[in-house]
Chain A
Amino acid sequence: AQSVTQLGSHVSVSEGALVLLRCNYSSSVPPYLFWYVQYPNQGLQLLLKYTSAATLVKGINGFEAEFKKSETSFHLTKPSAHMSDAAEYFCAVSVDGGSQGNLIFGKGTKLSVKP
């Protein structure tokens, strides 16, 4: 069965610092992996996705993630944090490897950005 573990329910960084949000997955099939962002009182917005092409995936707002099969990881990074990045971030894995909507989500990591 597929699952996702996000390490750290809350991450705090200073503005301009590196953002690193960790995600490890478990999947019985080649995984499709996703990162979503949720701003307060809003729905989820797709940041980026890995669907078995390039292992380094670039997304919106300067975020990127690297698929590492040997480590079963899909960590999200951004070189320089902005105040506007403060939000909750969810890592997700596709249940059946081909569907991009039937997803198992992690519990989320709340990112705070200090001025």
Chain B
Amino acid sequence: EAGVVQSPRYKIIEKKQPVAFWCNPISGHNTLYWYLQNLGQGPELLIRYENEEAVDDSQLPKDRFSAERLKGVDSTLKIQPAELGDSAVYLCASSLNSGNTIYFGEGSWLTVV
């Protein structure tokens, strides 16, 4: 069974440019998460989806970050415009539902220069 797939794995962009990350969760998983991991830190939840609905986006900086999960499967996380401080790893995870174990993808590593 395929795990959580993320792309791109690595991205380098100049500040003020837009960037988007894509996530394909494990088949059949209804709950999808985006986490942010800064260097030397543990992951922090950005947003959680139950099917198509964003049920917890309290930690998502809505001035420059947006996310969507159309049709309740794949998800995209966008940053526009990117800032130097956005350099981090963006982790996608999924679970059957919110009461089950989550499985992480390998992450998308963003460097803003």
Residues on A lying within 8 angstroms of B by beta carbon are 4, 9, 36, 41-46, 49, 90, 92, 98-103, 105-108
Contacts and interface: CB of A to CB of B under 8 A. Distances in A.
Q: Which of A4, A9, A102 has the most CB of B within 10 A?
A: A102
Contacts of B106: 41-43
The dominant DSSP class at the A interface is loop
Interface stretch (B12-20, B68-76, B77-85, B93-101): B93-101
Given A90-B42, A101-B98, A105-B44, A44 B31 contact: no
Interface in B19-49: 31, 33, 40-45, 48
A43 B104 contact: yes
B91 interface: yes
14 contacts: A41-B106, A42-B106, A42-B107, A43-B4, A43-B106, A90-B42, A90-B43, A92-B42, A99-B99, A100-B95, A101-B31, A101-B33, A102-B33, A102-B98
Interface of B: 4, 31, 33, 40-45, 48, 56, 91, 93, 95, 98-107, 109
Contacts, number: 62
Given A99-B99, A102-B98, A45 B104 contact: yes
**Closest 6 A-B residue pairs measured CB to CB?**
A105-B42, A43-B104, A101-B102, A44-B104, A43-B106, A99-B98
Contact of A101 (B41, B44, B95): B95
A33 B42 CA distance: 15
Given A100-B102, A101-B93, A43 B107 contact: yes
Nearest to A9: B40
Contacts of A92: 42
A43 B103 CA distance: 9
Contacts of B31: 101
A98 B44 CA distance: 18
Contacts of A4: 42
Contacts of B42: 4, 90, 92, 105-108
A36 B103 CA distance: 10
A108 B40 contact: yes
A103 B104 CA distance: 13
